[in-house]
Each structure stands twice: as C-alpha cells, then as structure tokens.
A and B are shown apart, each in its own frame.
Chain A
Amino acid sequence: MIPDLTAAWGAPRVAAIEFPFGRPLGQPHDVVTQRAVLRATLGALRDIGSPGAVVHLPFEWPEPPDRVHWHPKEPSPIVQLLGRDPSSFTRLVEGGLPPEASRRE
C-alpha cells in the first residue's frame, strides 16, 4: 500500500500494489482479482532472492483516483487533532512524540 514505507522499515520481501487503502486484495466479491493478487504476492515472496527487494505487482485499480472512496466516514482521532492543533503536525513530522503516545488513557 505504501511500499516505500514498508521497505524503508526493513521488510525482507515486499510485493507492492497500487490499490487504495482498506482493499489491498481488490474489490469486495471480485474473487478473480483477489486470487490473482494473492497468487502474484506469494510468487513474488517465493522468487525474491535478496533482503529488502521490492516487486511491483502489475495491477491497476479500476476507478480513477478522484472516484476512490477509502476514508472513514468520521475523520480519525489524529486527523481531528491535527485540525484543532496545527502544532501536532510539526510534532508528527519532526518525530517528537508526546509521552501519551505510549500510554492507554
């Protein structure tokens, strides 16, 4: 989904696909595409021979990007926080997580 991120953080083998968030295997009930994606993924994982290699799977999502709906109906809590408090954005980008990132409240 974000293969640059997955590879950067050390996944041994990466099968990259350009499908929208939430549906990495394809559309609901599209059994043919789901099976083809899983088959291609397993084939890539079998064939990759060096640590960190990325195989780009040759699938194209059938909708144009501006027609794709993947966001939740209610913005996620961190997106709502970023809207209320723009300094949170700087914090996320610069990597200084607050202590509450590590504790259940």
Chain B
Amino acid sequence: MRSLPRHVDSFKYLNPASTTITKALIRKAPRVPVPWAPLRWPLHEATVSLVSTAGISVKDDPPFDAEGERRNPWWGDPSYRVIPRTATEAGISVSHLHIETAYIYDDLDVALPLRRLVELEAEGLIGRSAPSHYSFMGYLLDPTEFLDVSVPAIIEQMRRESVDLAVFVPV
C-alpha cells in the first residue's frame, strides 16, 4: 500500500444523500471547548485501550440489538461490550447494519487491531495493551443513554485498569 502526503477527504466514500446528512451533523455540533488531558507517561510506558464503533461482541455476551434497530430504524443500541485483549475473529459477533461486516469476520484487526497492538507492545512502542477493550454501536442518532450510562461505565473500567490512552476507532 502506497504512502503519500495528503489531506483526507471525509466524504470520499459517501453518496450525495449521506454527505448532506453528515454535513448537517457537523453543523449541529455544539461549540464547546475541546476536552484535553495530557499524556501522563511517555507512550512506551502507557497502557492503551481500543474503542471500536463496529458493534462487536464476544460470543459469551449477547450481541447488540440489531433486531431492535430493524423494528425501529431511528434507534441504535446504546449499550457497550468489553472485548478482551486476546479476542480474535473466531470468537466474536458483529452487529453493525451500516457496513459490510465480512471483512471483520475475516480479520478482526481491520477494525479492532488487538493483535497489532500486542505486537507494538512487544516492540516497546507502547507500555502495554490493556486487559480490556470496548465496542459499541456507532449508529446512535440519539446518544443520550450511551453518554449517560455506557460511557461512565467504560471510563470506570479503564480507570481500574490504569489506562492512559484510549484510541477510538470509528468504522
């Protein structure tokens, strides 16, 4: 794969209708100060956790409620799932109804790069991959319940596991 200097086009893969909707969402963003927390340690000492919007669950847990979204297209499941650092495509479900999920079932690292993160841990680029990583459903037109219930629970578990850097990986 080639590497070139570039300015990323946010709308390259969106059709005109989706582009219009996305630009409306951008216009609706509140004008508030951006939160900021400096890294407390150098990256090679930091504990890193990944957060995927792909609606991934491990097979011991219930999958996200895709049937609820089919019944009510305005609604998205506001819950979250914990994904252990050892998870692979063999032990997951992907409930996202807005993307082709076959690639993730083929290789989880295309969306949740757990093996790549462990490799960077072995290499010494990061301190360690956290014991727990997270996923939620990226399609949430009303994120109120997600922000009020799921996000605080994710933050609490990250704090228990001394996470220094959360990498949010949208799909």
Contact = CB atoms under 8 A, between A and B. Distances in A.
- Of A23, A43, A71, A80, chain B has the most CB atoms within 10 Å of the CB of A23
A23 B167 contact: no
B1 A33 contact: yes
Contacts of A2: 10-11, 14, 22, 170
B17 A82 contact: yes
A23 B141 contact: no
Contacts of A6: 170
| Interface size range on B against A | 35 or more
Nearest to A102: B142
Range class of the A interface residue count: 35 or more
A73 B100 contact: yes
Given A23-B103, A101-B141, A34 B26 contact: no
Contacts of A72: 97-101
Contacts of A51: 33-36
A92 to B, nearest CB: 5
A78 B74 contact: yes
B167 A41 contact: yes
A33 B145 CA distance: 36
Contacts, number: 208
A41 B111 CA distance: 13
A56 B5 CA distance: 8
A20 B3 CA distance: 16
Nearest to A8: B29
Interface in B1-57: 1-14, 17, 20-22, 24-26, 28-30, 32-37, 39, 43, 48, 54
A47 B106 CA distance: 33
Interface string A70-96: 111110111011100000010011110
Contacts of A33: 1
A70 B1 contact: no
B61 interface: no
B99 A71 contact: yes
Contacts of B125: 39, 42
Interface of A: 1-6, 8-12, 16-18, 20-39, 41-43, 45-46, 51-52, 56-62, 65, 68-74, 76-78, 80-82, 89, 92-95, 97-98, 100-105
Interface of B: 1-14, 17, 20-22, 24-26, 28-30, 32-37, 39, 43, 48, 54, 65, 68-75, 77, 96-101, 103-104, 106-107, 109-111, 113, 116-117, 119-120, 125-126, 139, 141-142, 144-145, 165, 167-171
